Structure 1
Amino acid sequence: MDDIVRQAMAKWPNVPHCFGWLGLDARGQWFMRDDRAQAAGPFPQSRGSLLRHEKLVDFIQRNYERDDDGCWYFQNGPQRVYVELEAAPLVLRVDAAGVLTAHTGETLAAKAAYLDEAGRLYVETPRALGLVHTQDMHVASDLVEQGTWQPQDVLARDLPARFGYVPSPAQQKAGH
């Protein structure tokens, strides 16, 4: 977490949390969801505006964390902005050696792999569960064929409970 964020949290400790305004899609892209996007429906059906400002995206990714309830958020100064997840807390890129790089830029180790009913490949890492980026499925399939990864079958709907994350903190807050 950035020092400036820690300082803001100490200076203003009681800023209300923000829900529904930020989404992370299955390709590791961030979306700002204003009132209009939220009124149009839940994420990812209503995505909002793709964030393209590189420094803003880097700031979000440096300050992306998980709370004790499994909700992922971006610490924006003194305010927590909870993130709506399309698939998993992380989106992973994979190279031919099996090195995983999260959408946040972190290099992570693979603990186990999972294949859901739609053919999406997830990898458990020490940080969190991540979805393998669609552009890297050819590399990931080579790792499976070589026996480096041996994915277990899983239902996508079971992943949040199994790996302790909340896909929609906004819906959880609303009591759904």
Structure 2
Amino acid sequence: MDDIVRQALAKWPNVPHCYGWLGLDARGNWYMRDDRTQALGPFASAKGSLLRHDKLIEFIHRNYDHDEQGQWFFQNGPQRVYVELEAAPWIWRVGDDFSVRSHTGLAVEPGTCLLDEDGKLYLAAPIGLGLVHTQDVGVAAGAVEEGRWVPQNVRAADLPARFGHVMSPAAAQPVKPASV
């Protein structure tokens, strides 16, 4: 976490959290979701505006984390901006040497390999579960063919409970009663 973020947390410890405004797609792209986009439906069907500002994306990457409930967030100064996930908390990039890096640039050593009912390949690492980026599935297939990764069949719907992550922190929030 950036020092400036730690300082903001100390200075303003009680800033309300933000839900529904940021999404991570299955290719590791970040999306901003304004009120209008959120009203159109969940992240999978209404993504919003693709973030293209490199410095902002780098800041999000450095301050990406999860809470004790398995909800992933970006710590934006004193405010947690919870992330809507399309596929998993991490998107893995696989190198020609079968090295694995997260969408945020972290090198990981994958353990379990999983294949869902739609043919999507996931890897579990000490930092959590991630989906193999679509552009890297061919390289990952080489690792499977060599026996480095042995896929276990899994249902995608079972992954959040199994690996302890929340796909939609916004949906998990209690509904506030309408004012009278």
TM-score higher than 0.5 here? Answer: yes
2-side partners of 1:55 and 1:84: how far apart? Answer: 21
SS at 1:22 equivalent: strand
3-state SS of paired residue (1:123): strand
Preserved contact between residue 73 and residue 83 of structure 1 (Cα < 8 Å): yes
> CA shift at 1:95, angstroms?
1.0
Q: Which residue of 2 aligns with 1:56?
A: 56
Preserved contact between residue 20 and residue 38 of structure 1 (Cα < 8 Å): yes
Aligned length: 175
The ranges of structure 1 where at least 4 consecutive aligned residues each deviate by more than 6 angstroms after the TM superposition are none
Map of 1:64-75 to 2, 5 A cutoff? 64-75=64-75
- Displacement of 1:56 in angstroms is 0.2
Structure 1 unaligned residues grouped into runs of 5+: none
Please give the secondary structure, in 2, of the residue aligned with 1:36.
helix
CA distance in 1, matches of 2:83, 2:168: 7
| Structure 2 counterpart SS, 1:80 | strand
> Is structure 2 residue 126 aligned with structure 1 residue 89?
no
Structure 2 unaligned regions, length at least 5: 176-180
1:23–1:43 CA contact under 8 A, matched in 2: yes
Deviation at 1:112, TM superposition (A): 1.0
- The share of aligned pairs that are identical, in percent, is 63
Query: 1:168: Cα distance to partner?
Result: 0.2
User: 2:45 aligns to what SS in structure 1?
Assistant: coil
Spell out, residue by residue over 1:150-170, the C-alpha distance to the aligned partner (whole angstroms, 9 max, x if none). 010000000000000000000
- Give me the CA root mean square deviation: 0.7
Is 1:23–1:44's contact at 8 Å kept on the other side of the alignment?
no
Query: Deviations 1:30-54 (Å, cap 9, x if unpaired)?
Result: 0000001001111020000000000
After superposition, the C-alpha distances for 1:97-152 in whole angstroms (9 at most, x for unaligned) are 21101001100111110000000000000101000000000000010000000010
Tell me the residue number matched to 1:150: 150
1:86, CA displacement in angstroms?
Answer: 0.2
Give the residue type in structure 2 aligned to 1:23: G
1:2-151 equivalences under 5 Å are 2-151=2-151
Deviation at 1:174, TM superposition (A): 3.5
Q: Which secondary structure state, in structure 2, belongs to the residue aligned with residue 101 of structure 1?
A: strand
